């Protein structure tokens, strides 16, 4: 856009409004931007509504959404505005299902340098998360269909929706999704994380089965999800797996997963490995513990363990990961 372009000026003004309070004057100005002909301006206006939590503009966002959806491929390239509107509705806890149902089913193929690209995947993902928070009687059944969407982003949105608000039915659907598999390990990783968050200890044993998966990417996703769950039972699974893992690449994932658990017993165990394991593994442990570089207690314990080894490789690793540059 050329300098002085009205769209550019509108976007700049909205950038200024993001840093203001939601006064009546601000609200009226943002309302006018929601009626703008440019989808980019409408998108940014919706973002301002979300960030300033201007609930009174929900009807205006719905009007803009409905207008754009009459011919979205022409009026809203890349689904920029309708995606931001639905994201704002979700963050403002809007509980009527209509826009979410519409967004959930929207597909928008647009030209690219290669094959056409579906620009509505993120919209479907956010719509799924919004729909399961409504009282729509078939919300879970509607979202379930997204588990086989051709776009990974949409499938991940469905997984998150079912994990957070899908109840027992959602948990069972996530287990079924894992059992039937997915071409994208990131989708299964979201399933693992969602199950551990939704049902805690009940899902540890289920997810633990996948730390030995033949597909290394799936195994890695399971390990990371177990660590990030911060469940003691999950940490024990990782520690046991670590004790029988020889290859350093896989062991690095395990070490990082245990460090991510932030459990005291995990930190203590990892520091003991710095003192006792071979230099390559000890260096990997130092790297894994670097997430605690600003924790003085952990930092000192790692430093002490490194110094007991009198090994320059470990000293250098510690300096790289724990000491701030001059």
Q: In angstroms, how far is CA 99 from the centroid of its own chain?
A: 22
Q: Residue 227 above 50 pLDDT?
A: yes
Q: Over range 18-47, report the average pLDDT.
A: 97
Q: In angstroms, how far is CA 154 from the centroid of its own chain?
A: 12
Give the percent of the chain with pLDDT over 70.
98
pTM for the complete prediction? 0.92
CATH for 6-252, among 3.40.50, 3.90.1570, 1.25.10, 1.10.3470?
1.25.10
Distance CA 24, CA 21 (A): 9
| Structure confidence at residue 177 (pLDDT) | 98
pLDDT tier at 137, thresholds 50, 70, 90: very high
Distance CA 259, CA 245 (A): 17
Write the pLDDT tens digit of every residue in 257-310: 999 999 999 999 999 999 999 999 999 999 999 999 999 999 999 999 999 988
| Structure confidence at residue 326 (pLDDT) | 42
| Structure confidence at residue 1 (pLDDT) | 52
Q: Over range 23-39, report the average pLDDT.
A: 97
- DSSP per position, 201-256: HHHHHHHHGGGG-SSHHHHHHHHHHHHHHT-HHHHHHHHHHHHT---HHHHHHHHH
Nearest to 170 by CA among 146, 151, 153, 150: 146
Distance CA 218, CA 182 (A): 10
Give residue limits of the domains in the chain.
6-252, 263-326
Q: Residue 252 above 80 pLDDT?
A: yes
Which segments of the chain does DSSP mark as H helices, in order? 6-17, 24-34, 39-52, 58-69, 72-75, 80-91, 98-104, 121-131, 139-144, 152-165, 167-180, 185-199, 201-208, 216-229, 232-243, 248-260, 264-276, 279-288, 296-309, 312-322
| Structure confidence at residue 200 (pLDDT) | 85
Write the pLDDT tens digit of every residue in 141-171: 999 999 999 999 999 999 999 999 999 999 9
Write the pLDDT tens digit of every residue in 94-107: 999 999 999 999 99
Give the percent of the chain with pLDDT over 90.
95
| Structure confidence at residue 324 (pLDDT) | 63
Distance CA 191, CA 86 (A): 23
Write the pLDDT tens digit of every residue in 182-191: 999 999 999 9
């Amino acid at each position: 856009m050329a300098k002085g372009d009205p769209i550019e000026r509108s976007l700049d003004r909205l950038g200024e409004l993001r840093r203001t309070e939601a006064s009546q004057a601000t609200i009226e100005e943002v309302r006018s931007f929601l009626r703008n002909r440019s989808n980019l301006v409408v998108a940014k206006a919706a973002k301002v509504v979300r960030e300033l939590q201007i609930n009174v503009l929900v009807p205006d966002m719905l009007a803009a959404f409905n207008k754009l959806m009459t011919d979205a491929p022409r009026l809203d390239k890349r689904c920029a505005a309708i995606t931001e509107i639905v994201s704002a509705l979700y963050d403002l806890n809007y509980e009527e299902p209509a826009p979410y149902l519409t967004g959930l089913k929207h597909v928008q193929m647009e030209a690219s340098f290669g094959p056409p690209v579906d620009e509505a995947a993120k919209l479907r993902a956010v719509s799924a998360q919004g729909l399961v928070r409504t009282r729509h009687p078939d919300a879970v059944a509607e979202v379930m269909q997204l588990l086989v969407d051709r776009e990974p982003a949409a499938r991940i949105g469905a997984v998150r929706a079912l994990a957070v608000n899908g109840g027992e039915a959602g948990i069972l659907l996530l287990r079924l999704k894992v059992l039937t598999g997915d071409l994208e390990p990131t989708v299964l990783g979201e399933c693992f994380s969602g199950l551990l968050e939704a049902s805690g200890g009940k899902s540890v044993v289920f997810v633990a089965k996948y730390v030995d998966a033949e597909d290394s990417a799936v195994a890695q996703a399971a390990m990371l999800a177990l660590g990030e769950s911060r469940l003691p039972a999950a940490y024990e699974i990782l520690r046991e797996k670590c004790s029988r893992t020889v290859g350093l690449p896989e062991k690095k994932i395990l070490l990082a997963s245990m460090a991510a658990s932030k459990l005291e017993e995990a930190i203590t165990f990892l520091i003991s490995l710095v003192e006792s394991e071979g230099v390559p593994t000890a260096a990997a442990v130092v790297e894994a513990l670097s997430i605690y570089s600003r924790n003085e207690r952990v930092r000192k314990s790692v430093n002490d363990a490194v110094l007991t080894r009198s090994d320059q490789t470990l000293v250098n690793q510690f300096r790289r990961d724990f000491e701030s540059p001059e």
